[in-house]
Amino acid sequence: MDTKLRIGILGCGPISQAAHIEACRKGRNVELYALCDAAEDLLSEMTLVHKPKFSYQRYEDMLANEDIDAVIVATNDYFHVPAAIQALRAGKHVLVEKPLGTSLEECLELEQAVIETGLILQVGNMKRFDGGIMAAREFIQTEMGELLALKAWYCDNVGRYTVTDNVMPIIVLSASTIRPPFDHKADKQRYYLLAHGSHLVDTARFLGGEIVSIQAHHTERFGAHNWLATVEFASGSFGQLDLTIGVRMDWHEGFQVYGEYGSVVGKTYNPWLFKSSDVEIYSVRDEQFRRPLAIDGHFYRRQVEGFADAILENKPVHGATVEDGVAAVRALIAISQSVKTGEPVRLKDVQGEV
């Protein structure tokens, strides 16, 4: 295998234009080898600007290119699992956008395909590559001792589009993109859980460990949605998660973790500002606060570089694995089921769709 991972990106939509294409062009160990999108106008514009070696309208044709080592699946959530399975069956490693899928059954099918092919699959939970969050996890795993409690919040704000319009490249749209045969944003609760809840539960698991049960409440007022959830970790400790979409303030995301030999408080920024989380770690051992400054906040580039390190250099997968992706989908299903019944839901008992 070459020293650079040759990547084909499926989907030239907003996330690829704002993150993945640039990440593959700037990454130290990756090459933007191919682009694929059914929308001819979008594909030709992206090809003109970014100059991949190949571009394809048909996914099958891209997968048939034997020189492509790995595929980034950057499509609508509803196509993640079939597209990822197709890539694995064609012998490609896969970086698939979050959430892994929309139902537990399809995610388990994908997990099986990963096991059978022995290839690497990483889920696009790019916050795992936020240097501030990484420092928090390092402290939690090596110095903090036992977990007492965790709080984490992800509150997307009403003004976020003003910010993203300012900082993102101008997004090219097309009338011919492939979309699911229904309006995937019509059911707001489901859409927000998949789009945003997938980040929150992954961060909670990354810092707090396996979640075994969830009890959640949901409130909708003046077009804003809030979920408050109590989660039980496998360690027996508890956490509180707050997912709010349309909070009337600035972007508000972060966490507090209380442990035996210290605590961590983190403030996470709107990802499109490419600024790592501010994290303050207090260690009982040295009676000091530490505030690591993670300068490099290009989480999407760091994510694809980490993916390539795992493939090219046999390093352990630092990003979310297929098991993490399945666990996050279980947690999202548990949240939506608990909202309906008011009862705690055990993650091992869930099935069906988010």
Q: Choose the stretch contacting ligand NAD; rule: CB under 6 A; options: 38-46, 213-221, 314-322, 324-332.
A: 38-46
Q: Choose the stretch contacting ligand NAD; rule: CB under 6 A; options: 32-40, 106-114, 245-253, 277-285.
A: 32-40
Cβ-proximal residues to 285 (8 Å cutoff; 6+ apart), any chain: 143, 261, 262
Pairing of strands 238-247, 211-221: unpaired
Residue 39 CB, nearest distance to ligand NAD (Å)? 5
Three-state SS at 269: coil
Q: Per-residue string for binding with ligand NAD, 56-95, x by CB under 6 A?
A: ---x--------------xxxx-x----------------
Record the tokens describing residue 28, joined without a space.
Answer: 């130290």
User: Which amino acid appears at position 159 of this protein?
Assistant: G
CA-to-CA distance for 227 and 30, rounded, in angstroms? 38
Three-state SS at 115: helix
CA-to-CA distance for 300 and 127, rounded, in angstroms? 9
Closest residue to ligand NAD, judged by C-beta, is: 13
Residue 249 CB, nearest distance to ligand NAD (Å)? 20
Is residue 214 near ligand NAD by the rule CB under 6 A?
Answer: no
Sign of the torsion angle spanned by Cα atoms 92, 52, 99, 315: positive
CA-to-CA distance for 90 and 153, rounded, in angstroms? 39
Is residue 133 near ligand NAD by the rule CB under 6 A?
Answer: no
Among 50, 98, 190, 318, binds ligand NAD (CB under 6 A): 98
Number of residues forming the site for ligand NAD (CB under 6 A): 25
Restricting to residues 12-31, which ones interact with ligand NAD according to CB under 6 A? 12-16
Sign of the torsion angle spanned by Cα atoms 334, 322, 203, 17: negative
Q: Per-residue string for binding with ligand NAD, 250-279, x by CB under 6 A?
A: ---------------------x--------
What does the binding site for ligand NAD look like in residue numbers (CB under 6 A)?
Answer: 11-16, 36-39, 42, 59, 74-77, 79, 97-98, 124, 126, 177-178, 195, 271
